[in-house]
Structure 1
């Protein structure tokens, strides 16, 4: 589905993220996690006190060559975001990793996740000079199908690596997009 009001932005410095946007990113992360989203926190519910330090760590590491924040806005509201990072080790510096990929639960199904993933691929290739992207996704929620439709390939699994609750162990699915 095409979303005419969708605005995609990227941030390469914490100084360009104002307090209003910072709070909106935190709110999105809390809402995604508490709706069962697999965006970096293992167990809901979470609140601002847990999300804020995690977001601040991402913001403090922003830099044009190594770490970017990609944000989708619709009607001025944060609709989703992700973090794109280059590995600092020389042997694998041609790889990038996507972290905390998320779309706000009430805005899903509008193409926001697809738009963010397409932007991540373009930024990684054209602006950061990366050749491959990878990510880890939580099994059992259909994420591998979503990413697969965008050209990502499953390259392995860590069986039962994620324990969400007693008796609820999930695979961690390793995925790659290569070449960009």
Structure 2
């Protein structure tokens, strides 16, 4: 599948609906993007709205990966500029998602390359930071994309009464 990545696309109802649908589909397929299944597109609305507000205030940017043929949103990453006066040289990456049908086909690697490109093109940015849920193996994926683990909080994420996962912090220094 051909993906086209757009940085800071126009926020339209079609885009927001596409992101909400993707977010629910990724969550329901077991993706670690802030929810525990079952999830509806409506469930993710408040979290998406907080990203959109940050974008409207100039504090965040969106990378949207769309099907080159039908325009369907199949991947996302939100880049949040750090607001702390001593940490404006790096940014956060949140809600990294690739549609379950594209897993293992290079779409995630292409998305992370788009994240790197956008970060490098942002004035003054020297590094990228993200967190991920332990027990999913995604930290290995991020390592293969050039990130390194720089912190881990054991059992910081509670999925169920008997299921706690580590919160892993990953860092990528931009050359």
Q: Would the TM-score normalized by the shorter structure come out above 0.5?
A: yes
What pairs with 1:4-153 in structure 2 (closer than 5 Å)? 5-11=2-8, 16-41=10-35, 43-62=36-55, 66-74=59-67, 75=69, 76-153=71-148
Give the structure-2-normalised TM-score: 0.92
SS in 2 for 1:81: strand
RMSD: 1.6
Q: List structure 1 runs of 4+ shifted beyond 6 angstroms.
A: none
Q: Unmatched 5+ residue regions in structure 1?
A: none
How far off its partner does 1:63 sit?
A: 5.2
Q: How many residues align?
A: 173
Counterpart-to-counterpart distance in 1, 2:108 and 2:123: 21
- The alpha-carbon deviation at position 50 of structure 1 amounts to 1.6
C-alpha distance in 1 between matches for 2:108 and 2:51? 20
Question: 1:31-60 CA deviation, whole Å, 9 max, x = no partner?
Answer: 01111111122x221212221121122112
Deviation, structure 1 residue 166? 1.7
More helix by share: 1
Q: Distance in 1 between matches of 2:174 and 2:52?
A: 28
- Check whether the contact 2:120–2:174 (CA below 8 A) recurs between aligned residues: no
SS of corresponding position for 1:124: helix
Closer, same or farther: CA 6–49 of 1 in aligned 2, 3 Å? closer
| Pair 1:48–1:96, CA change in 2 (3 A) | same
Name the SS for the 1:50 alignment partner. coil
Check whether the contact 2:20–2:42 (CA below 8 A) recurs between aligned residues. no
Name the TM-score, length of structure 1 as normaliser: 0.90
| Matches of 1:6 and 1:159, distance apart in 2 | 36
Contact 2:32 2:133 in 1 (8 A): yes
